[in-house]
């Protein structure tokens, strides 16, 4: 008989962290299991133990506290998508989670899972990066917070230590009047992962000049791509077609695009150019709904 | 509730719901082969080759056999030493072995099989089998295959009992697996008459059937009889193959087939059954093999294809000559490829009256997963070529693609490409309706709306059904007047059992609840060639009707004595035989059965169609009916991204007599889903012989959200016709060229290789976009 896969079902974060600390890389944390099941079935991973965190209380919160939207690690994609709290505070977060795969996947996949997996072709990471979200994690050495932009390190690689788990994501609620959108562009079925996904955040001064502009590109490179220097060039300038094109071109030039079955590197570069432009345009339109 | 209203065949009391088991299916109550549980049943897993082409140097399974829980491990060399087993199979060539004997021919070729008490143990045992391979030069492309630098099958093919309609033409030391020829008229004269000659090359990639239920079966031996419960579309073909493998009479193999979770051609001919049956024999226990989705991807595929098509037309728009050279990539093993190239080959003649046609169609071996029957059966590949080229020719010569088609479509009585006259021709009706439904306008090519542009495309296709072929059915009329149909038709979601019950029951004017039908059981239900080729409703339906008609005549003879009237004066009405127009002089079926002391009335009928083609010219009878369909698409293309949205789709198909309207419509909608997936997304992507997207996360089929917002259907019926035309596949092949033609009309970008991806369109827009004439600008 083969060695059975060991299953741990801790009821506290501390207990989960202790198991991880003891077993090291042989243990995998599992929540919704949508990604892990695929990897396991295709024999891309062969863990000796699973640490299922589903029984840990307190990780399913959706709330706005101190100007921050707080999402617990065990909140499902579907819950984010439908939550009135999310829809009222930062609707783009609900939109982005609602665009993931299909409803069956969204019912199982979790906020913590999509962060910890760090799949380059997931939708939510780009939105979190654009919104300056912070990832709260806990390990043997206690809690720490990592900016989303520093959390995703490479393909399937995050800033998590092996004994750390994601316990939640905090997203600052943008000031009133901010427009934020997420464009998911698929080249095949609507259920496919994005070829590129672009999150755009725009806030304008009364005179039409840019008060805030943030753009993050997902699925085009190993990790979500954001270029603060490029964003900064737009601040204080009128948001016209030329400025938008400059930002879009700068992103297209800077993203080191990858090649997969959803599009070649050349095509992705062109799509970064198109969708950064469209994301800024629609974020700007959302930022100034009444004229 | 069913959205389709129930249907009553005219002049009968029958009320027909959309589908008999729809409710059970939706609630998950249908029993599939995978639900079978037998006492002592164990589980099988296969060790598969990691190499596309490699000689098996040695294989050692001793460590796997020693693993607790493993009941048996078999390897190819084990089988080579067995005098009681002939370890080869395949519907035409016996070129596939139960397990790799000498060399692996694709990534995924099974080389050893484990039976263990559970799947985890079987899986763990696979890792303990030591295999030494010597890698060989793989044949990965058509060019590799034709260069013949490396040969997939070194030995000449072992022929088995073959089909009456197949001509086998193989070459030594070559990767050409079979060659079909068609020679109609005089091709040189034809091109001499042409004012314009066009030559283009079209390709289609291999794609997956993606049945919801993957291949699976349970096999066990019981008193010297091999028993199987299998998800197969062809129980009798599988039985014959297993009898040959085990060198036993066919009576020593018994196969039962529950409802299938989809087939689409993937479940034709033996697939998982041979290796499972050998494991069952070796272990003496019931063995289940159920493929994972990843394994399904490398079990059978649609043929990748390349067609070079040269067509000659006169200046007044008549096609006078067509020369097609077709290469169908049949992968590592022939499966039914040697026959499919015939349908795909003559299929390139299209639904047009062309006096001079020359076709060379080849099945070609490569070191990729085997290709075989796939909904459309070679016609999708052929139609992608000829219906794309029709629009290309029309565009080059400045003609309206609709008018160009109308000028060339076959009329009643005109010869099809195989030389026989076309009967019951409806191509022009179907095209006219398609054009009307999509709103075809010869003067407007494209409508632009900001950065989006819309265009429309048309296509018309012709398809054969396997000819000659045979179906037989038995029926029993019981003492209570109820009717039992014994048929080997396979229910796989298409509604075969509903339709056959209707066709049988209406002959005796019974209610549907008075009719029952069996699943196939090769010990009890009569022979059928297989549930494939859009033939079941017509062929099996005819056999069932003939058998029930026989029962009716038996009832008339009995009633004639009973009522003392001539047979000619009798009719059936609601379960009784009555004197025509005199209901008070009648007798119930049950009374007649009892008076005859027959217990039940029995009848059996055989329907066999005739035909066949001359081996040198491909002329003769190609199909018992020529199936006809049209498609029309309206697409919207994003000019910045190349992404295509299919806004509207119209499918038209000629059905002769419609046996069940709801099911006919659902089959047609299913074809649209299949067709749009192949038009836009589907492609098995290989790198060095390794499949890159062999799972449903990486391989995309259409979801319900991808279906056009507007779909219209035209299941054309001719009320006076009693002839049923198969519609299970016919409306699929028009989809791909209809979409391709619409994209071209919208953008001026012509894609010759499926699928039509956004990237290909964008590259086309950047490279060769020319301003479209007659573009209407619409303000945003």
Residue B641 has its nearest CB partner, among A2, A192, A274, at A274
E-state strands within chain A:
6-8, 27-30, 49-52, 62-65, 68-72, 134-139, 142-147, 152-154, 157-158, 165-172, 179-185, 196-204, 210-218, 225-226
Listed by start position, the domains of chain B span 33-138+214-297, 304-409+418-466+615-778, 469-608
Instruction: Answer yes or no: do A267 and B762 touch at CB < 8 A.
Output: yes
pLDDT band at B455 (very low <50, low <70, confident <90, very high): very high
B34-54 per-position pLDDT tens digit? 999 999 999 999 999 999 999
Residues of chain B found within 8 Å of residue A272, distances taken between Cβ atoms: none
Residues of chain A found within 8 Å of residue B291, distances taken between Cβ atoms: none
Q: List residues of B whose CB lies inside 8 A of any A CB.
A: 67-69, 120-121, 123-124, 292, 294, 640-641, 643, 677, 680-681, 685, 692-693, 695, 697-698, 700-703, 705-706, 757-759, 762
d(CA A268, CA B416): 47
Residues of chain B found within 8 Å of residue A188, distances taken between Cβ atoms: 680-681, 700, 757
B55-104 per-position pLDDT tens digit? 999 999 999 999 999 999 999 999 999 999 999 999 999 999 999 999 99
CATH of the domain spanning B469-608 = 3.30.365.10
pLDDT at B2: 40
Q: Give the pair of three-digit tokens for residue B449.
A: 């709306």
Residue B428 has pLDDT above 60, yes or no: yes
B660-710 per-position pLDDT tens digit? 899 999 999 999 999 999 999 999 999 999 999 999 999 999 999 999 999
Dihedral sign of CA atoms B263, B264, B270, B274 in order: negative
pLDDT at A140: 96
Question: Could you tell me the fold of the domain covering B33-138+214-297?
Answer: Aldehyde Oxidoreductase; domain 3 (3.90.1170)
pLDDT at A290: 41
Residue A288 has pLDDT above 80, yes or no: no
Residue B735 has pLDDT above 80, yes or no: yes
Instruction: Answer yes or no: do B695 and A42 touch at CB < 8 A.
Output: yes
d(CA B253, CA B272): 15
Residues of chain A found within 8 Å of residue B643, distances taken between Cβ atoms: 185, 187
Residues of chain B found within 8 Å of residue A4, distances taken between Cβ atoms: 120
Residue B780 has pLDDT above 80, yes or no: no
Q: Which residue of A has its CA nearest to B118?
A: A1
Residue B685 has its nearest CB partner, among A42, A261, A274, at A261
For domain B304-409+418-466+615-778, which architecture applies?
2-Layer Sandwich (3.30)
Instruction: Answer yes or no: do B121 and A41 touch at CB < 8 A.
Output: no
B140-162 per-position pLDDT tens digit? 999 999 999 999 999 887 887 66
Contact A265, A229 (CB under 8 A): no
Three-class HEC string of B365-412:
ECCCCCECCCCCCCHHHHHHHHHHHHHHHHHHHCCCHHHHHHHHECCC
Torsion of CA B48, B49, B55, B60, to 10 degrees: -50
pLDDT at B778: 59
Q: Among candidates A24, A11, A14, which has minimal Cα distance to A163?
A: A24
Instruction: Answer yes or no: do A190 and B123 touch at CB < 8 A.
Output: no
Residues A201-229 as b or e (16 or more Cβ within 10 Å = b) = bbbbeeeeebbbbbbbbbbbbebbbbbee
Instruction: Answer yes or no: do A38 and B695 touch at CB < 8 A.
Output: yes
pLDDT at B248: 98
**How many angstroms away from the CA of A64 is the closest CA of chain B?**
33
Q: Which residue of B has its CA nearest to A37?
A: B697
pLDDT band at B772 (very low <50, low <70, confident <90, very high): low
Instruction: Answer yes or no: do B705 and A188 touch at CB < 8 A.
Output: no
pLDDT at A266: 98
pLDDT at B64: 98
pLDDT band at B775 (very low <50, low <70, confident <90, very high): low
Residue A100 has pLDDT above 70, yes or no: yes
Tell me whether A2 touches chain B (CB under 8 Å). yes
Residue B698 has its nearest CB partner, among A187, A190, A261, at A261
CA B688 distance to own-chain centroid: 29
B778: exposed, middle or buried (Cβ count in 10 Å: 0-12, 13-18, 19+): exposed
Rg (CA), chain B: 27
B289-308 per-position pLDDT tens digit? 999 999 999 999 999 999 99
B584: exposed, middle or buried (Cβ count in 10 Å: 0-12, 13-18, 19+): exposed
Contact B727, B607 (CB under 8 A): no
pLDDT at B229: 98
d(CA A61, CA B187): 76
Lookup result for tokens 């062969």 = A46
pTM of the model: 0.96
Residue B700 has its nearest CB partner, among A1, A38, A189, at A189
pLDDT at B721: 78
Residue B313 has pLDDT above 90, yes or no: yes
Residues of chain B found within 8 Å of residue A41, distances taken between Cβ atoms: 292, 294
Residue B404 has pLDDT above 80, yes or no: yes
Q: Give the pair of three-digit tokens for residue B657.
A: 């007599």
Residue ranges and CATH numbers for the domains of chain A are 6-52 (3.30.43.10), 62-172 (3.30.465.10), 179-287 (3.30.390.50)
Residues of chain A found within 8 Å of residue B702, distances taken between Cβ atoms: 189
pLDDT at B7: 73
Q: Give mean pLDDT, residues B1-28.
A: 74
Rounded alpha-carbon distances, angstroms, from residue B281 to B84, B219, B238, B275, B285? 11, 9, 17, 10, 7
Rounded alpha-carbon distances, angstroms, from residue B384 to B359, B400, B472, B674? 16, 19, 35, 14
Contact B263, B238 (CB under 8 A): no
**How many angstroms away from the CA of A2 is the closest CA of chain B?**
6
Instruction: Answer yes or no: do A189 and B68 touch at CB < 8 A.
Output: no
Q: Give mean pLDDT, residues B473-496.
A: 96
Taking all residues of chain A, what is their mean pLDDT, rounded to a whole number? Answer: 95
pLDDT band at A1 (very low <50, low <70, confident <90, very high): low
Q: Give mean pLDDT, residues B388-413.
A: 98
Residue A44 has pLDDT above 90, yes or no: no
Residues B518-531 as b or e (16 or more Cβ within 10 Å = b) = bbbebeebbebbbb
pLDDT at B1: 34
Lowest mean pLDDT across B42-46, B142-146, B519-523, B722-726? B722-726
Contact partners, residue B314, CB within 8 Å, separation at least 6: B193, B194, B195, B196, B320
Residue B640 has its nearest CB partner, among A2, A102, A274, at A274
d(CA B466, CA B732): 17
Angle at alpha carbon of residue A123, lines to B701 and A44, rounded to 5°: 65
Q: Give mean pLDDT, residues A261-265.
A: 97
| Percent with pLDDT over 90 in chain B | 89
Instruction: Answer yes or no: do A38 and B697 touch at CB < 8 A.
Output: yes
Helical H segments across B302-359, by residue range: 337-347
The pairing of strands B253-256 and B225-230 is parallel
**Stretch 99-138 of chain A: residues touching chain B, C-beta under 8 Å:** 102
Rounded alpha-carbon distances, angstroms, from residue B619 to B184, B251, B307, B624, B628? 7, 38, 21, 14, 20
Instruction: Answer yes or no: do A274 and B702 touch at CB < 8 A.
Output: no
Q: Give the pair of three-digit tokens for residue B232.
A: 């197969």
Rounded alpha-carbon distances, angstroms, from residue B540 to B229, B471, B473, B608? 22, 5, 7, 10
Q: Give mean pLDDT, residues B635-640.
A: 98
Rounded alpha-carbon distances, angstroms, from residue B726 to A137, B415, B613, B626? 61, 21, 21, 9
């Amino acid at each position: 008989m083969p060695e059975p896969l060991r299953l741990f079902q801790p009821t506290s974060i501390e207990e989960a962290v202790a198991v991880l600390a003891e077993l090291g890389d042989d243990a995998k944390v599992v929540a919704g299991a949508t990604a892990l099941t695929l990897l396991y079935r295709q024999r891309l991973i062969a863990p000796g133990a699973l640490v299922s965190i589903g029984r840990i209380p307190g990780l399913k919160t959706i709330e706005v506290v101190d100007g921050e939207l707080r999402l617990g690690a065990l909140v499902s994609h579907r819950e984010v998508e439908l939550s009135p709290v999310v829809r009222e505070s930062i609707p783009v977060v609900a939109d982005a989670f609602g665009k993931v795969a299909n409803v069956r996947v969204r019912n199982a996949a979790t906020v913590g899972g999509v962060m910890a997996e760090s799949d380059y072709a997931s939708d939510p990471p780009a939105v979190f990066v654009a919104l300056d979200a912070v990832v709260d994690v806990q390990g043997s050495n206690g809690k720490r917070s990592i900016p989303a932009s520093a959390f995703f390190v490479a393909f399937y690689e995050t800033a998590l230590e092996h004994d750390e788990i994601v316990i939640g994501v905090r997203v600052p609620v943008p000031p009133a009047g901010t427009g934020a959108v997420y464009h998911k562009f698929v080249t095949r079925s609507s259920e496919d992962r994005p070829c590129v996904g672009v999150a755009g955040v725009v806030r304008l001064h009364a005179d039409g000049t840019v008060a805030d502009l943030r753009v993050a590109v997902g699925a085009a490179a190993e990790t979500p791509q954001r270029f603060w220097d490029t964003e900064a060039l737009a601040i204080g300038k009128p948001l016209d077609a030329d400025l938008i094109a400059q930002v879009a071109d700068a992103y297209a030039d800077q993203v080191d695009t990858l090649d997969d079955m959803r599009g070649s590197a050349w095509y992705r570069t062109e799509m970064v150019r198109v969708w950064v432009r469209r994301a800024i345009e629609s974020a700007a339109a959302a930022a100034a709904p009444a004229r | 509730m069913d959205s389709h209203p129930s249907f009553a065949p005219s002049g009968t009391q029958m009320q027909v719901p959309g589908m008999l088991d729809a409710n059970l299916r939706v609630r998950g109550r249908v029993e599939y082969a995978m639900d079978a549980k037998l006492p002592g049943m164990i589980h099988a897993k296969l060790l598969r080759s990691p190499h596309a082409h490699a000689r098996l140097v040695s294989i050692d399974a001793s460590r796997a056999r020693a693993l607790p829980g493993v009941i048996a491990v078999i390897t190819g060399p084990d089988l080579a030493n067995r005098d009681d087993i002939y370890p080869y199979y395949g519907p035409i060539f016996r070129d596939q072995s139960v397990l790799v004997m000498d060399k692996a021919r694709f990534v995924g070729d099974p080389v050893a099989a484990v039976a263990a008490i559970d799947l985890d143990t079987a899986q763990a045992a696979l890792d303990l089998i030591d295999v030494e391979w010597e890698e060989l030069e793989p044949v990965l492309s058509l060019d590799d295959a034709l260069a013949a630098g490396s040969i997939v099958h070194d030995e000449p093919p072992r022929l088995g009992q073959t089909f009456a309609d197949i001509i086998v033409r193989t070459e030594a030391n070559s990767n050409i697996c079979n060659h079909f020829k068609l020679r109609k008229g005089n091709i040189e004269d034809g091109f001499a008459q042409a004012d314009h000659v066009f030559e283009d090359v079209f390709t289609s990639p291999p794609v997956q059937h993606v049945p919801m239920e993957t291949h699976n079966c349970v096999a066990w031996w019981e008193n010297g009889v091999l028993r199987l419960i299998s998800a197969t579309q062809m129980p009798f073909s599988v039985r014959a193959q297993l009898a040959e493998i085990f060198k036993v009479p066919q009576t020593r193999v018994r196969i039962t087939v529950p409802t299938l979770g989809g087939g689409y051609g993937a479940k034709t001919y033996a697939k998982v059954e041979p290796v499972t049956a050998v494991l069952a024999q070796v272990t003496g226990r019931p063995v289940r093999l159920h493929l994972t989705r990843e394994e399904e991807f490398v079990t059978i595929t649609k043929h990748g294809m390349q067609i070079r098509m040269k067509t000659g037309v006169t200046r007044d728009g008549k096609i006078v000559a067509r020369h097609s050279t077709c290469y169908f990539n049949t992968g590592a093993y022939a499966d039914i490829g040697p026959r499919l190239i015939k349908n795909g080959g003559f299929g390139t003649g299209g639904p047009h009256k062309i006096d001079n046609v020359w076709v060379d169609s080849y099945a070609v071996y490569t070191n990729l997963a085997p290709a075989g029957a796939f909904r459309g059966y070679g016609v999708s590949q052929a139609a992608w070529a000829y219906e794309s080229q029709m629009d290309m020719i029309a565009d080059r010569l400045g003609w309206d693609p609709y008018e160009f088609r109308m000028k060339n479509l076959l009329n009643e009585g005109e010869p099809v490409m195989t030389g026989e006259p076309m009967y019951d021709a409806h191509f022009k009706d179907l095209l006219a309706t398609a054009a009307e439904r999509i709103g075809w306008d010869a003067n407007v090519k494209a409508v632009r709306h900001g950065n989006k542009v819309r265009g429309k495309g048309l296509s018309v296709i012709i398809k054969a059904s396997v000819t000659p072929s045979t179906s037989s059915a038995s029926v029993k009329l019981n003492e209570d007047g109820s009717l039992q149909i014994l048929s080997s038709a396979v229910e796989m979601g298409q509604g075969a059992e509903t339709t056959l019950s209707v066709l049988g029951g209406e002959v005796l004017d019974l209610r549907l609840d008075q009719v029952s039908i069996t699943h196939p059981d090769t010990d009890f239900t009569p022979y059928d060639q297989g549930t494939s080729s859009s033939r079941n409703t017509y062929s099996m339906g005819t056999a069932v009707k003939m058998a029930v008609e026989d029962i009716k005549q038996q009832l008339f003879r009995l009633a004639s004595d009973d009522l003392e009237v001539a047979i000619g004066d009798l009719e059936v009405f609601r379960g009784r035989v009555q004197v025509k127009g005199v209901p008070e002089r009648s007798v119930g079926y049950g009374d007649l059965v009892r008076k005859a002391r027959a217990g039940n009335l029995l009848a059996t009928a055989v329907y066999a169609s005739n035909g066949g083609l001359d081996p040198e010219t491909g002329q003769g009878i190609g199909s018992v009916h020529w199936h006809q369909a049209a498609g029309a698409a309206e697409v919207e293309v994003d000019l910045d991204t190349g992404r295509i949205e299919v806004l509207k789709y119209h499918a038209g198909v000629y059905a002769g007599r419609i046996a069940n309207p709801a099911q006919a419509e659902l089959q047609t909608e299913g074809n649209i889903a299949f067709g749009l997936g192949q038009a836009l997304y589907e492609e098995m992507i290989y790198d060095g012989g390794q499949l890159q997207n062999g799972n449903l996360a990486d391989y995309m089929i259409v979801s319900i959200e991808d279906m056009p917002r507007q779909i219209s259907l035209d299941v054309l019926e001719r009320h006076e016709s009693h002839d049923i035309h198969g519609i299970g596949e016919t409306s699929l092949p028009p989809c791909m060229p209809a979409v391709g033609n619409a994209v071209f009309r919208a953008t001026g970008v012509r894609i010759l290789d499926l699928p039509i991806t956004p990237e290909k369109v964008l590259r086309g827009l950047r490279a060769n976009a020319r301003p479209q004439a007659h573009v209407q600008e619409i303000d945003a």
